[in-house]
Amino acid sequence: MPADPDQVYALLADAGQWPQIFTPTVHAEVTEVPDADQQLIHLWALANGEVRDWTSRRTLDPAARRITFRQVVSSPPVASMGGEWLIEAAPDGGSSVTLLHDFAAVDDDQEAAEWIEQAVERNSTAELEALSRAVTAGPDGEPLRFAFSDSVDAEGPAEAVFEFLARAELWPERLPHVGRLDLTEQGDVQRMEMATLAPDGSEHTTVSLRVLRPEQHTLVYKQTVLPGALASHTGRWTVEPHGAGVRITSWHGVTLDVDGVARLLGADTALADARARVRHNLGANSTATLRLAKEFAEQHAERQGAAWTR
């Protein structure tokens, strides 16, 4: 990979960046840090087209540039799984990255073992390719990844805001920039196909996987079918106490697709201009959603009187 080994290790060590970098990863939460070199991580990821979640324990060794992992709560048909990342300096410069796995299927079922092997092979190949892209800069060394957020404050309960954000099947009625939305749910995971009207008048269809965390008043998502100028797009909605009410924030993580930018915006389009346009379009729609979520929560508070503050 065309990057310094320490840079590659730092990306792998920061699990919060995985959904932005790795195609299969939908969401990653560090749930516990028992020691300086130990982490417990709850992961949601695609495996053979299905969203599975599990908890892994990671051991970080920055001096050796080695990260070992072992699932402590697996998702059937996986009975156990572990492995390691090893990053070494390549002889010709850059980095050499090795990803190893070991696993067992529930009841040693052969068909399940084959399913797991296919999922591991597919995801590992995708992750290594994505990692290489993530450490590769754009033309003239310009960054392809960037992040931003927008917030509004609301005098209403967090539960009402979260309901507005989670009930996406009602968005075509509630949000003027949503033309069509198909939603399916399984547990805390939603799949959402949405036709969106951008501020510049263009319309595009995206598919997102969303993980609902109602106990945290947080909803995270990852687009799996993206607008043409983006290589990846992740985000989250958070609702936090603020003053007498709440602060609602929309966060975005974006990676530009250089070829897509040239194809859609023109070969002479500077990456800085592409970033500004993407930021404007995504931010405008998010801000519209934030304002309507605020209005929904405040109307709810008016109906409930002052009871929601007690």
Cα dihedral value 170, 253, 226, 209, nearest 10:
-50
Clarify whether residues 107 and 184 are in a common domain.
no
Q: Note the pLDDT of residue 306.
A: 53
Domain stop point among 121, 136, 151:
136
pTM for the full predicted model = 0.88
Looking at the fold, whether 59 and 175 belong to one and the same domain comes out as no
Specify whether 246 is located in the same domain as 219.
yes
* Rounded distance between C-alpha atoms, residue 30 and residue 255, angstroms: 23
Between helix 158-166 and helix 271-304 the angle, nearest 10°, is 120
Q: Which helix (H) or strand (E) holds 72?
A: strand 66-73
Look at residue 310 in the predicted model and tell me its pLDDT: 45
Q: What is the mean pLDDT of residues 117-122?
A: 94
Give the Cα separation of 269 and 229 in Å (integer): 11
Segments forming the whole domain that contains residue 283 = 141-309
Average pLDDT over residues 5-10: 94
pLDDT band at 305 (very low <50, low <70, confident <90, very high): confident
- Supply the angle between the helices 258-265 and 271-304 in degrees, to the nearest 10: 90
Integer Cα distance of 276 and 309 in angstroms: 39
Choose the weakest-confidence range: 8-22, 152-166, 194-208. 194-208
Measured between alpha carbons, how far is 297 from 203 in angstroms, rounded to an integer?
A: 28
Q: Examine the domain organization and report whether 193 and 298 are in the same domain.
A: yes
Average pLDDT over residues 295-302: 94
Task: Give the separation between CA 118 and CA 109, rounded to whole angstroms.
Answer: 14
Predicted pLDDT of residue 203: 82
pLDDT at 143: 85
Give the integer Cα–Cα distance in Å for 232 and 23.
8
CA proximity to 303, closest of 14, 37, 13, 295: 295
Tally of structural domains, the chain:
2
The model's pLDDT over 227-261, given as tens digits with 9 standing for 90+, comes to: 889 999 999 999 999 998 999 999 999 999 999 99
Shared domain for 145 and 291, answered yes or no, is yes
The pLDDT of residue 45: 93
Residue 307's pLDDT band (boundaries 50, 70, 90)? low
Nearest to 206 by CA among 189, 229, 187: 229
**CATH number of the domain enclosing 25:** 3.30.530.20
Run of H or E residues at 237: strand 230-242
Confidence of residue 58 (pLDDT cuts 50, 70, 90): very high
Q: Do 27 and 89 fall within a single domain?
A: yes
Q: What is the mean pLDDT of residues 70-93?
A: 94
Measured in residues, the chain has a length of 310
> H or E segment at 231?
strand 230-242
Q: What is the pLDDT of residues 264-278, one digit of tens each?
A: 999 999 999 999 999
